[in-house]
Amino acid sequence: MSLIYFSSNSSLAETFSMRIADQCESYLEAECIVPNLSNKFSQQKTRDNIEACDVLIVVINNYSTSDILECNLIDNERIRFEIISAMNLDIITIPVLIDDAKLPEKGNVPGALKKLIDCRSYCLRSVSWVEDMELLLEHLEEELGFLNEVKQKLSESVKVNYQRLENFDGQKTEQVKIDLESFDAMQLRKVIEAETIFLQKAHGIGDFNAEKNALSTLGLAYTRLGQTRKAIHYFEEQLKISRKLGKPEEVCGLLANLGDAYAVSGNIDQARSYYEEQRLLAESKCLPAYAGSSYNGLGYVYVKQEKIELAINCYLKALASYRNLENHEKQLELLVGIGLNYRKLEQWEKTLEFCIQALDAAKYLENRKEEVQLRVDLAETYCNLDKRGFAESQLRLAEESLKSIQEPLSAVLKRRIDELRTSQKLFLQ
């Protein structure tokens, strides 16, 4: 489950934070932390919470504009500590501005706080709260989805790469399947301590395989802690060894991990460089799964750069690879993404085409959650094509499928259906 931490610049912003958190918990099924500003501030507790979180949302209300806001950012110990801690850990940070709130000029804030000004911000206006909130949730869903994909990939990797430190005697050691995904921060720090010693010993005797495995585990552990820069360092060292050993599949996997890590940290250009290298290697060595992965990563890069047509082209190539591999889960993921991007371009016929394909894939996989969401997407698309009868039919089918979905998601989807009926004046059934 994803963890979102809320930083509030005032008691009023705290109220808005709780309101946003409720939406995030319902729509994204995320866990949210909204600190009580009236409680005594603890650096240690705050640091532990931030290290564990996936996203920091900084909520700034319209009471704290101009001079008051700048004072809060610079002089308020709590909010300054929260923001700087997240920035140092390369945690996704999103400023949320309530009504007419504004961020201060970059030149008026010091040090790490300057990075906050460069982050993509979202406005939540009272007059268009629902619409603005939907945009924020879609952005969070995209970011968390990508982050969870990274974690899954890393978790799968560690199961085959982790080796025990104990009883290490210079010989090859027994491989043990351990899932770092389930480890808490304290356990991960213990893993790092042990693997650092393991790495030194492996390097000392020239055991490249053992060294590579230790580097992998260190990179994965730091990724789980949200310390992306350190993770990148260890992945890059591991990549050097894998190149020496002449293992193209390993190299492809590491290039993907590095692309993902740089993408998560916001360095899109470097991410693209690794994905491109992965693509070239995968295609030259006839590794279709890694070729598909590289195109998927490149698609994400182009989305972040708002080059939607290029992103769609990459996603289509990734889709072709996964179809050849008969990977239905990846096919569904890509079909949904392609449809979403055609929606951004307001190319409704293309949106319809891929939504229908995605719906077929969801039904094949018996993914009820995705099926309902796609039927609501289809209804919205049909409305944009002025095919209201088809829209109403999809909403009826969505409502029928809702019966098999547990709360709280069903409540969120029901709300989407009701909002679409109201906004489009569709007949209640």
With a cut of 80, say whether residue 412 has pLDDT above it.
no
Helix (H) or strand (E) holding 4: strand 3-8
More confident residue, 88 or 294: 294
How far apart CA 357 and CA 344 sit, in angstroms, is 18
How far apart, in Å, do the first and last CA atoms of the chain sit?
A: 35
Collapsing DSSP to helix, strand or coil, 335 comes out as helix
Residues 205 and 319 in one domain: no
Residue of 171, 7, 13, 144 whose CA lies nearest to 83: 7
Last residue of a domain, one of 246, 281, 311: 246
Residues 375 and 425 in one domain: yes
Question: Alpha helix locations (H) across 165-227?
Answer: 185-205, 208-224
DSSP 180: G
Residues 122 and 209 in one domain: no
Q: What separation in angstroms does the CA of 411 have from each of 23, 109, 242, 379, 417?
A: 11, 42, 48, 18, 10
Q: How does pLDDT run across 251-265, given as a tens digit for each residue? A: 998 899 899 888 877
Q: How does pLDDT run across 197-240, given as a tens digit for each residue? A: 878 877 878 778 888 888 888 887 887 777 888 888 998 998 99
Tokens coding 410:
């069903």
Residues 100 and 33 in one domain: yes
Tokens coding 228:
């992306």
Task: Let me know: does 12 contact 72? Beta carbons within 8 Å.
Answer: no
Task: Let me know: does 124 contact 94? Beta carbons within 8 Å.
Answer: no
Residue 152 included in any domain: no
Last residue of a domain, one of 206, 229, 246: 246
Q: What is this structure's pTM?
A: 0.65
Interval 155-178 mean pLDDT: 43
Residues 86 and 134 in one domain: yes
Q: What is the dihedral of CA 130, 135, 136, 139, to 10 degrees?
A: 160
With a cut of 90, say whether residue 30 has pLDDT above it.
no
Tokens coding 181:
């995904």
Beta-bridge partner residues of 56: 5, 93
Residue 393 included in any domain: yes
What's the total number of domains in the chain? 4
Report CA Rg, the chain: 23
Residues 8 and 75 in one domain: yes
Residues 22 and 109 in one domain: yes
Q: Is 84 exposed, middle or buried (0-12, 13-18, 19+ CB in 10 A)?
A: middle
Task: Let me know: does 16 contact 59? Beta carbons within 8 Å.
Answer: yes
Q: Tell me whether the omega of the peptide bond preceding residue 408 falls within 30 degrees of 0, making it cis.
A: yes
Question: Alpha helix locations (H) across 28-128?
Answer: 43-52, 66-75, 77-88, 114-118
Residue-level pLDDT at 151? 63
In sequence order, what are the residues at sequence separation of 6 or more whose Cβ sits closer than 8 angstroms to the Cβ of residue 400? none
Q: What separation in angstroms does the CA of 336 have from each of 5, 211, 370?
A: 28, 40, 9
Residue-level pLDDT at 95? 92
| Residue 320's CATH number | 1.25.40.10
Q: Is 97 exposed, middle or buried (0-12, 13-18, 19+ CB in 10 A)?
A: buried
Residue 154 included in any domain: no
What is the span of the domain harbouring residue 219?
162-246
Tokens coding 97:
């501005």
Residues 315 and 338 in one domain: no
How far apart CA 53 and CA 154 sit, in angstroms, is 17
Task: Let me know: does 168 contact 201? Beta carbons within 8 Å.
Answer: yes
How far apart CA 325 and CA 116 sit, in angstroms, is 42
Q: How many CB atoms lie within 10 A of CB 374?
A: 28
Last residue of a domain, one of 214, 246, 278: 246
Residues 7 and 102 in one domain: yes
How far apart CA 16 and CA 167 sit, in angstroms, is 54
**Mean pLDDT, the chain, integer:** 82
Residue-level pLDDT at 344? 92
3-state helix, strand, coil in the chain (%, to 5): 70, 5, 20
Residue-level pLDDT at 87? 82
Q: How does pLDDT run across 323-374, given as a tens digit for each residue? A: 999 999 999 999 999 999 999 999 999 999 999 999 999 999 888 888 988 9
- Split at pLDDT 50, 70, 90, the class of 130 is confident
Residue 151 included in any domain: no
Residues 173 and 71 in one domain: no
With a cut of 50, say whether residue 425 has pLDDT above it.
yes
Strands of 3-8's sheet in order across: 31-33, 3-8, 55-60, 92-98, 122-124
How far apart CA 86 and CA 37 sit, in angstroms, is 18
